[in-house]
Structure 1
Amino acid sequence: EAFQSGLSWLTILRRRETFRTAFAGFRIAEVAKFTGTDRERLLADPGIIRNRAKVDATLANAKVLAGWRAGELDELIWSYAPDPAGRPAPRGLGDVPAITPESTALAKELKKRSIRFVGPTTAYALMQACGLVDDHLAECVARGGGAAAG
């Protein structure tokens, strides 16, 4: 999610497989072991977003998360899931928020736990990606098909 910050999702999605390879299949335990040489490799890789702050935050976050117990991140994220009954289906893109009170609280908690490069907007994108919220428009066939639907 942090790499998408300030960029279009399409930019990230086009590079998804390169990101997967560069970051050891997104395995936290593996990324946590990355060295300075790995960092330099990432910063030289034209297939990913070579933003120094984002790369450094990702490596630091992996080290933090590697120390968490199994399932702890999942439990933390889901503890901020809003009540779907209180969220009407958006009718247009203008009805889809960029931040919510829950995403603001989640970002604050993640920062408190030493997770870097996360704010309310990034936390909300994470909530969307994990299925905590269903922002498919009311007429979308995918509406209600995810975990946020209940």
Structure 2
Amino acid sequence: MNNMSSENKTPSVCNCINLRRASLVMTELYDKYLAPSGLNINQFSLLRHIDRLGPASVSDVALKMRLDRTTLVRNLKAMEQQGYVQDIAAKGSRSRQLTLTESGEAVLIAAGQLWDEAQNSVEQSLGTEDLAALTSLLSKVESMMP
């Protein structure tokens, strides 16, 4: 995690910078918890979405994750190379059908326990009420763009 002293953590006058800083800290925290699984939070989220959607196209996964296709394809390529994701679409099909492999399911289960620990850590640090308020505010921020 970032080793800045607390005196250097004064909020910026820029709301965007404050959100980006908080996002970086949260990403580092989840990555630290997930490290024993070999996944980072982006990879974990991708595997979890594919698992929950069942066989799904790249477009469906991108839409559900609210990511652009380029970012998704870049992350997906690594997951396929590691043997966690496979395309089960018929040969010649124009649309890929993504699903987890057995090793993808296994790493997702192991990482899921670590993710739960990260979730609990955040809730312990922020408290239930503040976490609910943060979630509500983040939803409002996300809805600012149509």
Fold shared, TM-score > 0.5 on shorter chain? no
Structure with the higher strand share, 1 or 2: 2
Structure with the higher helix share, 1 or 2: 2
- TM-score, normalised to structure 2, is 0.28
Larger radius of gyration: 2
- TM-score, normalised to structure 1, is 0.28
